Structure 1
Amino acid sequence: MDANRVDIQFRKHLGNAKKDVDYGGFVAFIEGALSDAYMEAKSISKEDAVKELKDKIAAGNPAGHGVTTTSKDDATNRLTDVKGYTGAHKERFDMETGKGKGIAGREDVVDAKAAAGYVGGYKGQGTYDKTH
């Protein structure tokens, strides 16, 4: 039994006007029209046809047509390992997780000390006596 036969049985079950099916309609299709066609094609009983169809659906995964796989070669590993990055690129990634920092890794964010005119290491901000 091929995909064309399944499509024909599905259209017979649904009709040409309807475009989608709910779970109950799908189960009715499997136990009805599709199992009848499968029973005919395989020369088995209806109960066996329903069981085989349900087993095939449960075991199957969607096939990825034209998809690529993840590259696992040494060059890709070297280029994507953030521990080897230097300079500005190093600041774009969190070293523990390897995830990008987003906009914080691409911009120099001015903190409150720098905006007030203090250097980064100054600890006495706000302690200056106003009477001087």
Structure 2
Amino acid sequence: MASKSSVSSGLRQAFDKYSKFGKTHAQLADHNELRIGSAQIQKMMKDCSLINSKYTSQLLDNDIARVLGKLTTGAAEPGAVHYPKGTKTFDIKGFKLLIDRIAESKGVSHDEVLGKINQNEGPSLTNVTEIANKEITDRMTDTSQYTGSHKERFDEEGHGKGKEGRTDDADTTGYVQGFKGGN
């Protein structure tokens, strides 16, 4: 049997991995604490094989709604976890309460659910969109093959520049309408 601290650290690692999964650097930098949403919880439970024919994803959604409902309606005891009304994501403390609820719904022990989560290595990338034909993509983004204004659409690494690579914006700053000169 694993020690309590290793189990909780394993849960924390799984929480960190799945809460970051599918988010951009800007989204991660936007918040000071990690939160996990319903989609990431669904993915975690599927990857850990906790969802099966008896405990379906619909039952998981019901458990998520129940725990969020309890956490947002008010904390009866001081020091208990409480979320503002309308919250749809969990922090680590609320996630631990959700794990307790999942274990209760499945009719298994809390340690069995934690054990399956700890055995998981992180979000799997099965059925993820990949580049269909890498040779064609590489050829089309190779700037050495382009001439003229088309060459300006990509940077040195082959990434598109977006609008700044397609348009030349005129400097129309001036003191009267229609003024086109800068100095």
**Paired residue total:** 101
Gaps of 5+ in 2: 1-54, 74-84, 171-183
TM-score by length of 2: 0.39
Q: CA RMSD in A?
A: 3.9
1:1-132 superposed matches below 5 A: 1-15=55-69, 19=86, 20-23=88-91, 24-30=93-99, 32-38=100-106, 40=107, 44-52=108-116, 54-55=117-118, 59-61=122-124, 68-94=129-155, 96-99=156-159, 103=164, 106-107=167-168
Q: Is the alpha carbon distance of 1:9 and 1:58 closer, same or farther for their aligned partners in structure 2, counting shifts above 3 Å? A: farther
Indicate if the aligned counterparts of 1:35 and 1:50 stay in contact, CA closer than 8 A: no
**Counterpart residue identity of residue 29, structure 1:** L
Indicate if the aligned counterparts of 2:103 and 2:110 stay in contact, CA closer than 8 A: yes
Q: Is the alpha carbon distance of 1:88 and 1:108 closer, same or farther for their aligned partners in structure 2, counting shifts above 3 Å? A: farther
Distance (Å, rounded) in 1 between the aligned partners of 2:59 and 2:109: 19
TM-score by length of 1: 0.50
Higher relative contact order (CA 8 A, sep 6+): 2
SS state at 2:114 partner: helix
SS state at 2:97 partner: helix
Q: Is the alpha carbon distance of 1:29 and 1:104 closer, same or farther for their aligned partners in structure 2, counting shifts above 3 Å? A: closer
Structure 1 residue 27, shift from structure 2 partner: 1.3
Match of 1:117 in 2: none
Structure 1 residue 85, shift from structure 2 partner: 0.6
SS state at 2:157 partner: coil
**Counterpart residue identity of residue 86, structure 1:** T
Distance (Å, rounded) in 2 between the aligned partners of 1:108 and 1:3: 51
Distance (Å, rounded) in 2 between the aligned partners of 1:80 and 1:105: 15
Identity of aligned residues (%): 28
